[in-house]
Amino acid sequence: MEERIQKLLAEVQAFNAQTKDALEAFRLKFISRKGAVTELFEELKKVSVEEKKRLGKVLNELKQSAEAKFSSLQENIDNNTSSSSDIDLTLPPVPNKVGNLHPLTLVKNRIIEIFERLGFNVADGPEIEDDWHNFSALNFPDNHPAREMQDTFFIEKNPDLLLRTHTSNVQIRLLEKQKPPVRAIMPGRVYRNEAISARAHCFFHQVEGLYVDKNVGFADLKQTLYHFAKEMYGKDVKIRFRPSFFPFTEPSAEIDITCLICKGKGCNVCKHSGWVEIAGSGMVHPNVLKNCGIDPEEYTGFAFGMGIERVTMLKYQVNDLRLYSENDIRFLKQFQTVI
């Protein structure tokens, strides 16, 4: 009997179970109620008292060692299976990828912020517009080239409707329903029938500015835009006004700022002049005020229209307009905040 016990003991020690099934086989063979250990205890009852003492001791050893083996094998198996199939709740979370705002939106928001501090409200108008608000009320003569199909997208079913070519239509919409003082900026998308290239697109964005009140002069326009340029690009930026023409302003001026790509030294973007145009501007034409029922003898005003793409290009040194509408995620994810 002792020999059998020793043999089983050796077997227990050598036993290795990787799976739950193998472990169950071990349990049945050694420690279950019908297993080898129980069986030997039964046999033990039949031997003499001295033998019982000696064999009982060895048999107890076998029992303990079988039980210890069982628990350690079980622990092993539990650990292994949990690491392969269970979720490890202690792992740090994988952060969700958050999107970011489009660079044009970031810059538009910044422009709004700067003008809101000067007391400008934000106004909005339609992108599908009629001839009156986009052209006629703005003092465009009947034969103005902007009214041609090559320049403007007209709506086929109704030739009086078109995709607005500038945000100046909102000037009219605002002045028709609100009497001076009016101080507003109007961001929005505009459309022109242009071939798409690095420098031109068939749609882009503008921010219109309008200030109509008693005694508004050209100096107010200059100071407002100078303030804007410094807020947007820093105090070293220079600004210049070039005489120009728009049907709806008199006098009119185009506004240039130092080219920030070459810092005024001359490059492709500024056509080697050191200056880049960012806006058209001028004093609101008396005819425009009259068209909106405002007396030009009593009120004057200034207006400007700024290209958001232009302002953004200079801010972020982007040199191709098409990037803004191609939705290439590699381009878009580079803009987290306005720098």
Question: What's the min distance (Å) between Cβ of 252 and ligand PHE?
Answer: 6
**Shortest Å, Cβ 91 to ligand PHE:** 55
Distances (CA, A) of 306 to 122, 208, 228, 281: 14, 6, 11, 9
Q: Give the list of residues 6+ apart from residue 185 with CB closer than 8 angstroms, or none.
A: 111, 112, 115, 120, 121, 122, 123, 207, 208, 209, 210
Is the Cβ–Cβ distance between 36 and 29 less than 8 Å?
yes
Nearest distance from residue 168's CB to ligand PHE, in Å?
4
What is the spatial distance between Cα 245 and Cα 285, in angstroms, rounded to a whole number? 11
Q: Which is nearer to ligand PHE, 5 or 308 (CB)?
A: 308
- 103 versus 305: smaller Cβ distance to ligand PHE: 305
Nearer to ligand PHE, 27 or 227 (CB): 227
Q: Please identify, using beta-carbon distances, which residue of 168 and 291 lies nearer to ligand PHE.
A: 168
For 26-67, the DSSP string reads: HIIIIISTTSHHHHHHHHHTTS-HHHHHHHHHHHHHHHHHHH
Structure-block tokens of residue 144: 């103005």
CB of 278 to ligand PHE, least distance (A): 11
As measured in angstroms, the least distance from the Cβ of 305 to ligand PHE is 3
Q: Classify strands 182-191 and 203-213 as parallel, antiparallel or unpaired.
A: antiparallel
The minimum distance between CB 253 and ligand PHE, in angstroms, equals 8
Nearer to ligand PHE by Cβ, of 187 and 280: the residue is 280
CB atoms near residue 155 (< 10 Å): 13
**With left for phi above 0 and alpha for psi between -120 and 50, is residue 141 left, alpha or beta?**
beta
Note the residues at the interface with ligand PHE (CB under 6 A).
Answer: 166, 168, 208, 246, 249, 280-282, 303-305
Q: Where are the beta strands (DSSP E) in the chain?
A: 121-122, 128-130, 161-163, 182-191, 203-213, 239-246, 249-258, 275-284, 300-307
Nearer to ligand PHE, 103 or 307 (CB): 307
Cβ at position 188, least distance to ligand PHE in Å: 11
φ, ψ for residue 326, nearest 5 deg? -85, -10
Nearer to ligand PHE, 163 or 303 (CB): 303
